[in-house]
Amino acid sequence: MADIYPRPSTLTRHNDTYPFIAPSHFTGKLKGKVALITGAGRGIGRATSLALAAAGTSVACLSRTASELETLEAEIKQTSNVPTLFLVRDVLSDPVQIISDIEKRLGPIDILVNNAGSSRFGPLYLEKNIDIWWHVQEVNVKAPMALIHACLPSMMKRGSGKIITLGSAAADNSFPFGTADGASKAALQKAHQCLDIEMRGTGIVFYCIHPGGTSTTTMGRGDGVNMEAMALPEVQRVGMNFAKTALTDTLALAADSIVFLAADERMEVFSGRYLDCCQDMEELLQNKDKILSEQLNMLSIKRL
């Protein structure tokens, strides 16, 4: 079965965490820092919340589901002795109020992890309500950009900040029935490239990352799949292909990569660039000059 979601690379690829990005390298490095993680109740968001807390970060965990936050709170308290805040909110609710509530309890945000996301798989022409398609753009683009907007004034005042937004390989791969995901992730990547240019010299770093494909993807949850369209053989074939070839990575790979990006200043030269967490980060640093000089890891349109 051909891979409809190719991610060609000359660098070593990983499906699980590996020694170079191990959080043990950064013990205490993030102590006193405050991180906001959206979509923290499950999957990558939950794993990242635990990993950042283990690294000494004060964590504000946001989710729409109270029961998921309750179990996350219990687990963090068992494993880490750090200040915490758990907010049952929707990322599309008032972002300024969310940031204000966190700052009152934990202090200014140093690390924003835009993890919450949505998806929609199916042919555009079979959408009976285009609002379902558009909701993906609101969750995947409007919400993270609104939170970035709310965080920037304080980060600019302090001269530092890390923005880590979960993009996707969908940003530069085109495949059928993925218009909602592809459009939203490409928009995120381009926005981070532009933000890096306009915010240079402020001390704020912008990462838009492909975290790997995990079985906890939002595809299949809620309106993630147009179930009526799944009756079509071609839609079934593409969906099965995606599940078998793209959802093969662990939560630890994503979580440890995010801690690595938050803690290791060497990666700041890649601010604004697309980073694939499946690529070996040590080799990425070794190829820094080539990446920068040839404008690699950037979303662009090639012309004659």
pLDDT tens-digit map of 134-193: 999 999 999 999 999 999 999 999 999 999 999 998 888 888 999 999 999 999 999 999
Burial 71-104 (b: 16+ CB within 10 A, else e): ebeeebeeebebebbbbebebeeebeebbeebbe
For the chain, percent of residues with pLDDT exceeding 70: 94
pTM assigned to the model: 0.94
pLDDT at 215: 76
Confidence of residue 2 (pLDDT cuts 50, 70, 90): very low
Structure token digits, residue 3: 């891979």
Query: Which residue shows structure tokens 């008032």?
Result: 94
Q: Comparing C-alpha atoms, which of 270, 268, 277 is closest to residue 291?
A: 270
DSSP collapsed to 3 states, 269-302: HHCCCEEECCECHHHHHHCHHHHHHCCCCCCCCC
Structure token digits, residue 29: 């490095």
Confidence of residue 236 (pLDDT cuts 50, 70, 90): confident
